[in-house]
Amino acid sequence: MLLTDQHSENIAGIISCYDRIVIQGTLPGFCFAQGMASYLTINGIRIFDYPHFAEPLRDALRKNAEQIAKENDLEIEFIRKKNLRKEDRIRSVLNERGEHPGLVHIFSAMETCQSYKPWHDKKTHKTYLKPTQGKCLHYYFYFIDQQLGLCYVRVPTWCPFRLQIYFNGHSWLASSLKSEGNNFTSMDNAFIHIDDFIKAQTVANSLSVDILHKKFDHFAKLYCPIIEQFELCYHWSIMQVEYATDIIFKCQQDLQTIYSNLIRTAIHTVKPDNIATFLGRKLHGNYQDEMGNNFNTRIMGTRIKHRMGPVSIKMYDKFGLILRIETTVNDVSFFKHYSKVEHRDGTYTKKLAHIKKGIYSLSALRQLLFAANRRYLQFISAIEDVSSGVNKLNKITKAIVENNRSYKGFHFLINDDHMLFETMASGEFNISGFQNKHLRQKLSGKTSSQISWLLKRLHIHGLIRKIAGTYKYYISKLGMQVITMALKLNQFFIIPELAK
C-alpha cells in the first residue's frame, strides 16, 4: 500500500513534475576540433590564425551584452568571489523589481571553457586543432519568460560558444496553471495547494519539447547573435534533469509524525541493490561507479540521498508540509528504454537502448524518472506502517491447507526462512521477475524440486504472483511489505533485544 493511500485523510494532494532542467547547446561542426578545422580550411583561414578568427566574435558578444544591459537600464555585475551565490543575488533583485516578465540581471565571470589550440605535428607534418581547456569571460543572462518563468542563459565569449540554459519545471507548471484558471499557492519551487491536482498532473505531463526547442533557438539568437553569420542552428542536449514527486500534507504535524521514522528506517535499510532497483537497474558484480547513501542535516531540515553513478534519488521535507522524492540525472544515457530502430531495408524493430541526450528524449525520460520516484515511494510506504506490517506478518506464519495438502507458514527465527527472505529482498527480482533457477543460484544446496516447493509456499501465502504464460514470478505488494518488515524486525528489534 502506498504512503498516499495509508494517510489519504492527511494529504492535500500529490504532484509530479520536472524541477531543475539544464540544457546545453552546441554548434554542429564547431563542437569537435576536426569540424572547427574543416570550417577554417573551407573558408581559407589558416589553422594558426584560429585566435584571430575567434577574437572579433568575442568582441561582438561583449558588445551585444553591453547593448542589452543598456537597453534594459541594467549594469553587468562582474563576479569576483567564487563563493557568491547567484541565486541569492537574483532573489534580492526580484524582491525589488517584482515577478513580471523581462530581463532581471546580468552577471559576468571568468570561467573555464572548452577551446582549441593550433598544433603542428613534426612527425606527421600535419597541422590541426587540439582540444584544450581555457578561461574566457562568460555572461549569465537571467530573465523571466512568460511561459518558462525564471531562466538563465550562460554564454561563453570564446569559440566554440557552448551555451547553457536553465529553467525550472515548477515555474513552467505555475504559468500553465494560471493560463488554465487552476488556482494554486506556491512557495519557492513547490506547490502547497492546487485546486485540481488531477488536471494539474495532466498539464505537468504535457510539456512540449517542440515549444522548448523554439524557445531555446530564440534565446540563442538574442544572447549569442554571432551564430547567424555561420548559418548554423544549435543542437540542444540534456545536461541535468531533476524530477520531483511532492506529497503535500494538510498540516506540518501530519508529516512530522512519520518523517523521522521514514528517514531513520531508510538510512538503515536501503542497500546498493535497492538503489539499483529504484532506478530500474540490476546490480552486477562488475559494476564500477560510486554507489551509496548520504544523510544531511540542513537548516531547512534533513535529507537522505542515494546515488548510483551519475544518478541520485533523494527524500526530504520542504517547509514541513511537503514530502519530496526527487531523482536527479547528470547523464541520461544511464537509463535504457525500448525505442524504434530503423534498419537498412526500411523495416523497424523495438530494441532496448540507452536514452539519447537530445532534448526530444525528455518525454521518455519523464516516464523513467517518475517510475523511479514511484518505486522509492512504494519502498518507504512498506516499511513505514509498523502495525499494518506486523498484522500481515502474523497472517503468513499460519499453515494453509489446499487440496488436502498443508503448506506451513514462514517463521523468521528459522534460518532457512530468514535466508529465503534476505535473498528475495536483494532487489534484482523486482525488475523483470525470477524463476526457479534464479533462486537456486542464490540458495546453494537446494535442488530444483525443493525450490519448486518453496515457490508453491510463497505463492499459497500470497507473497509472490506468477506471470501468466511464463515460468516467472514476481514479488507481490504484500510480499514486499512482509519481507521488508520481517528483515526490519530481525535487525532492529529481535537481535538487539536478544543481545542484551
**Residue predicted with more confidence, 196 or 488:** 196
Q: Is the pLDDT of residue 266 over 70?
A: yes
Biggest CA–CA distance in the chain, Å, is: 91
Q: Which of 4-13, 216-225, 256-265, 426-435 has the highest mean pLDDT?
A: 216-225
The full set of domain ranges for the chain reads 1-21+168-204+237-384, 28-160, 387-498
Confidence of residue 379 (pLDDT cuts 50, 70, 90): confident
For the chain, the residue count is 500
Residue 218 CB neighbour total at 10 angstroms:
11
Q: Which of 168, 169, 141 is nearest to 154 (CA)?
A: 141
Which of 160-169, 287-296, 403-412, 419-428 has the highest mean predicted lDDT (pLDDT)? 160-169
**What mean pLDDT, rounded, does the chain reach?**
87
Query: How many CB atoms within 10 Å of residue 76?
Result: 17
Q: Over range 44-48, report the average pLDDT.
A: 89
* Paired sense of beta strands 235-249 and 291-298, if any: unpaired
Structurally, at CATH architecture level, domain 387-498 sits in Orthogonal Bundle (1.10)
d(CA 360, CA 400) in angstroms, rounded, equals 53
Please check the confidence at residue 252 and state whether its pLDDT lies above 90: no
> Is the pLDDT score of 1 beyond 50?
no
463 grid coordinates: 507473497
351 class by beta-carbon count within 10 Å (0-12 exposed, 13-18 middle, 19+ buried): exposed
Nearest to 386 by CA among 478, 489, 475: 489
DSSP 275-307: HHHHTT----TT--S-EEEEEEEETTEEEEEEE
Pairing status of strand 102-121 against strand 77-78: parallel
Q: Judge whether residue 19 has pLDDT over 50.
A: yes
298 or 490: which leads in pLDDT: 490
- For 383-410, how does the pLDDT look when each residue is reduced to its tens digit (9 = 90+)? 655 545 556 666 788 888 888 888 888 8
Cα(first)–Cα(last) distance of the chain, in Å? Answer: 34
